[in-house]
Amino acid sequence: MLKTNYGFSYMDEAKQLMVIRKIGWESTTNETYRWDGLTRGDKFVVFQYTLSGEGHLVYEDKHFTIPKNHGFFVKIPDGHRYYYQSESKTPWEFIFLVAEGAHVFSYWNEIIERNGPIMILKPNSKPITILWEMMQDVQNKVMLDKYDISVRLYEWIVSCLRFIDGKPDYGHVIPEAIINAQKFMEEQYHRVLTLEEIAAAANTSKYHFCRLYVKYTGVTPISHLTKIRIEEAARLLRETKQSVAKIAASTGFENSSYFGKVFRRMIGTSPQQFRDASDDLPANHIFID
C-alpha cells in the first residue's frame, strides 16, 4: 500500500451523511507538525493512530504521550493540541481519519465520554484493520461513492464502540469449550445450574473457564445463562397463558420475586406488564443485548 493520504470533495450536499474528509498514512520528523484545535477554522473530527515513534496530545490541560499502538480522538474546534517533538529522535508514523457530517460529533463525544481521548488498539484489532481496508479500497478506487463511504465510516465507528464495550469482533473464532458450554446452557437453562456444572460441560476448570468465557464473549457465563432464561421467559409470557410463577420456575429461577427483579432489569418492565403490552410489541422473539 502506498504511504500517502487521500482527500474527498463532495459535489452534492452530504450534510445528512457522515463522510470521510481525509484518510491516510504519514510520518513526520518536523516540529512544525503541530495542530491546535481552536485555530483550524472548520468543523470536523480526527482519529490518529501511531504505528511507530510517538506523538503528544494535550487534552483538557492533560498531557498524553501517543506511542505505538495508541490512537486518539479529537474534535475541531475544541481545546486540544497534538504535535511532534524532535526529542523523540524517531519519526512519528501514523494512520489517520478525518470525518465530518451529521451525527459524527455525537459519536466522537460518546467515544470520548466512555473511553477518554486515548484508545489502545492492537494492530490486528477491528478498528485498525477496517481503517487499513478503507485506505486500500480508496487506493484501488473502489470506495468513492459518498453513500458507500458513509456506510464504511459507520462500520468503523461501531467497531470502536464495540471495542469499548469489550465485545469480541465479528468473525472471531470461538473456542470449542465456549461453544460446548453455550449449547449446554441452552439445553439445561430450566435447571438450577452451578458454574462448576457449566465449566464441566466445557471440559475445563471453573476459574480458567470464567476467564476464557469473558475473553471471547465479553460477558460472564452466568450473565449469558440469565440472558437465555429471560429471552425464553419473554417468549412464554407472549405465547402461553402460564402464570408468572410457573414461567419463573420453568426457566430456572428459584422464586418468582427474584425472576421479576431480573426481568425488569433486563427488559425494562415487569413480567405482567410485558405480557399486557404484547400487542404493542408484535415480535415473535425477543433478543437481549
261 Cβ contact partners less than 8 Å away, ≥ 6 residues apart: none
Express each pLDDT in 182-225 by its tens digit.
999 999 999 999 999 999 999 999 889 998 888 777 788 999 99
Which is nearest to 47 in space by CA: 70, 28, 79, 18?
70
Three cell numbers, residue 132: 487499513
CA angle 27, 85, 2 (to 5 degrees): 0
What per-residue confidence (pLDDT) applies to 190? Answer: 93
Is the pLDDT score of 171 beyond 50?
no
Collapsed DSSP state (helix, strand, coil) of residue 188: helix
Q: The whole model's pTM is what?
A: 0.66
Q: What is the pLDDT of residues 50-86, one digit of tens each?
A: 999 999 999 998 999 999 999 999 999 999 999 999 8
